[in-house]
Amino acid sequence: MIVVSTDGSALGNPNGSMGWAWADHIDEAGNAHEHNHTGNADAGGATNGTNQIGELCAVLEALRAHPGSEPLTIESDSQYAINCATTWIHGWKKNGWKNSKKEPVKNAELIRAIDSEICKRKGSVKFVWVKGHAGNAGNEKVDELARTYAEDCRSKLKDGYLPLEGWKSLISSSYSDGVDVPQDAKMLLDGKISSSEYHIGRCVGEDINPDFNGNNTRETERETFSDTTKYANNNAACDSSTQIINTNDESPANDESKADEDSHENNESKNSESQNKSEQKYKAVPGLRVCGTLQFTPAPNTSPSFNGNPRFITGTIQLSGYVMPDGTFNLEPTEFYMQTNAKK
């Protein structure tokens, strides 16, 4: 059985940069049987987007990288992505790709592509929901990959990289204003290069994956999240009557009346990276201190209301990276989250 983790990231809505990633759980050589890829992971993103687009891109790319007859398990912390692939899609097909509010389904290009990949895959596809930022090795790895690519897109260190359907969904969305579409992506959209040509040399990581010590999802994790396991029956996936098998009665309801996909979609679109981080609990590490001088841009003296005095602020900076052996940390331009009611 192949186990893959997927994740999407968005560094603020609207029009913040986004990222996606998948990573293998097994110590498997790239391009080996059932693995249509070179490295042990892949990641991409764009200068604009939402975390839903990122989540769906990750699932789609994971499916395409792992064709064949071997059972595939996709672990994701996005109930939106899982429900799109296993539950809501049946109602959307019946309703002509309209949601419960009779509006066009968002990200339909990506969802159709995911459905198509499940349809033609000989092996079964199982989706397992895992709690984000809870110590799951696979989830932590893809979270870092997706977030890093989003940050690199924002800082112009990397060009946007999405599957064809990801670009189409993004460009047709309300988040496309000012999006940077690289030349190779334009060629992909225009049909001048194939998807295979577009993906050449893209995968990241080594040809084997040491991050999971050769093991798939730990048994304890499977027990913890067994109530959120869903199966997509590939033999019937193209039929709107596809049966979704849940492991027990506590699984999320499949009925749209009990779990409206549009409401979930709208709620998740507000769940940007900054909001995700604000929900996490941080604690001070005894003895660990940070000091130095930060440069804020734009500077206070560039403001028309500048009165010559320093300005007091309260806020946080989200750091993700490596501390060098000498204790230094190279801080690239990043967002500062200010507490707007701070006074002094």
Establish whether 24 is a catalytic residue.
no
Closest CA to 123 of 241, 234, 246, 238: 234
Choosing from 24, 28, 75, 77, the catalytic residue is: 77
Establish whether 201 is a catalytic residue.
no
Choosing from 24, 28, 55, 265, the catalytic residue is: 55
Establish whether 55 is a catalytic residue.
yes
Choosing from 70, 132, 133, 256, the catalytic residue is: 133
Residues 6+ away with beta carbon under 8 Å from 246: 227, 229, 230
Instruction: Record the tokens describing residue 330, joined without a space.
Output: 């190279």
Query: What are the Cα distances from residue 338, in Å, to 290, 317, 323, 343?
Result: 19, 9, 24, 12
Instruction: Record the tokens describing residue 204, joined without a space.
Output: 């990241």
Give CA–CA dist 42/61, Å, rounded: 8
Choosing from 24, 61, 109, 143, the catalytic residue is: 143
Choosing from 7, 75, 165, 273, the catalytic residue is: 7
Choosing from 8, 30, 39, 138, the catalytic residue is: 8
- Residue the block writes with tokens 């409206």: 260
At residue 110's C-alpha, the angle toward residues 105 and 115, to 5°, is 95
How many Å is the Cα radius of gyration of the chain?
21
Establish whether 143 is a catalytic residue.
yes
Q: Where are the alpha helices (DSSP H) in the chain?
A: 51-65, 79-83, 89-94, 108-120, 137-154, 164-171, 183-189, 195-199, 219-224, 261-269, 273-279
Report the residue count for the chain.
344
Q: Which residues are designated catalytic?
A: 7-8, 55, 77, 133, 143
